[in-house]
Structure 1
Amino acid sequence: MKRRQYLAAAAAGGAIGAGGVVGYITLSDQPPYPAPFDPETDQIERSGSGAATTESFEIANQGPTLLKIDSNNRGEGFQAVIKQTAGEYTEPVPDSPRSGPYEGLKIVDTPNEGSYEIEVIDTTNSWEATVYDLPAYERSDDITLQPPISRENGLDKVIGPIDFGSEEGLNLANQTQNETSANTTGRAQRGRRTRFSLQPSAEDESPPGEISYALSIYDNDGEFIDTPIYRGNSRTQQSLGGSNEESQTEPVVLPTANVGFIQVSSTIFWSLSVENKDLSEINTS
């Protein structure tokens, strides 16, 4: 099993574009990206007004590519896409058109190194776009963000890089299939697990039918691992490949190690909690 596969390895077994959300949220609690990220070469900024396609830029690093969009859109259906300069590949941000102002940060899939551009569509006002071409971080890098992590925010956000801890601390050997039940021999199970919780914030006033959110986990090079928490309207469920009725909103506990990222995709104010726990705590709680 590759190192990155330990991330969530057990998971397989004004308005801001959302009804009921009032105010304009600034995504300001992300610490600076640590070295070897170099903002002089790895942070690309573009801006404009109305529908436009930016000057091209290069993606050169092996880690995730993040795209932040800040738009004063006053019309309907704002959306931007990052696409290869030569080719048909495109990745939208946000996932589907939003009305009103929008500020969001998302991991975008850039399958190949090379030249990309941003196309902004369906907007009537000014906008700014920032691309973060991140390295594939390792635990040996100077990563200060570790569980426990708490965030109160809204719309789309990426938290990371996060050092979830060592693989050895998971103690995956000799675990029972059901890790959350007591060991039948009476011997306490030991090993670190990470508890993820994502819920609507107490400040959110969205009607129940307009609430949609999802927590996704990515590894250190930006590869998607899983979406263990999700609730949404038809738009969100379609993007996750599920039906309108499907949801998983309870906190989840996963064996998570090494460096990764959390992406929250949402139309509401939300509250995120990430904390490491020992299996002995989980089994007796």
Structure 2
Amino acid sequence: MKLLRYGAAGQEKPGLLDAQGVLRDLSGIIPDVAGKALTSGSLAKIKALDPQTLPKVDGAPRIGACVGDVRNFIAVGLNFADHAAETGAEIPKEPILFNKAPNCIVGPNDDVIIPKGSKKTDWEVELAIVIGDGGSYIPEDKAFAAIAGFAVCNDVSEREFQIERGGQWAKGKGCPTFGPLGPWLVTTDEVKDVQNLAMWLEVDGERVQNGSSKTMIFGCAYLVHYISQFMRLDPGDVITTGTPPGVGLGFKPPRFLKGGEVVKLGIEGLGEQQQHFKAYQG
């Protein structure tokens, strides 16, 4: 299934994209694509429905983030071997974890605001895991049973804040609008091989990232297992899993976003995003 949320920001309704690409309203079935609605039991009930019995949504409403009320937005750093190489970093022996502020999540096509004082705003196409049943101390061989599905994420990053301002990476990762998510959540049964998906990103029509999830150092199942050793993963939590090469920091000289650019990105089978980057006006 492809689950999504549509409508004005802060007033999104739950929806389903049927096999013909028609948007169907799910608000009579679940209150939101969030929390307990993403557990395996709830998803099974939605899957058992005949989509043709759900109300059709007319027009072309705004598409919001594919998951609502996200409580934990966890990110993994330097998790692609070819991206680690372009930054000159050593391959991590264990996953590098940091938090993105949950309230930085926006719709996949919403504007991204370059923060006040930014000099080094960067892009990162990433594969996001959306937790379903979740739990603590999840065995790796049972990790996929704890996952609701997958989505596209742009892990927008301010490199000066992240690297040069001291402290943890969170400084450069959680600015408002730095977490476009969606367009939809694709449930695990529709993803044949999550560790072999093409990933790409363009800036003003120039392809700058062109990679694959097959170069991830730590795969999705291992990440869910690993993270669950340190915190409980709850339904609706999001884990964004790292980026392939081609980020602005990796160019020689580095290239960063100043405002006015259009960034388009996508992952095979998971959809596409497009954002206008705009300079902070305060």
TM range (shorter): under 0.3
Higher helix share: 2
Larger Rg belongs to: 1
TM-score normalised by the chain length of structure 2: 0.25
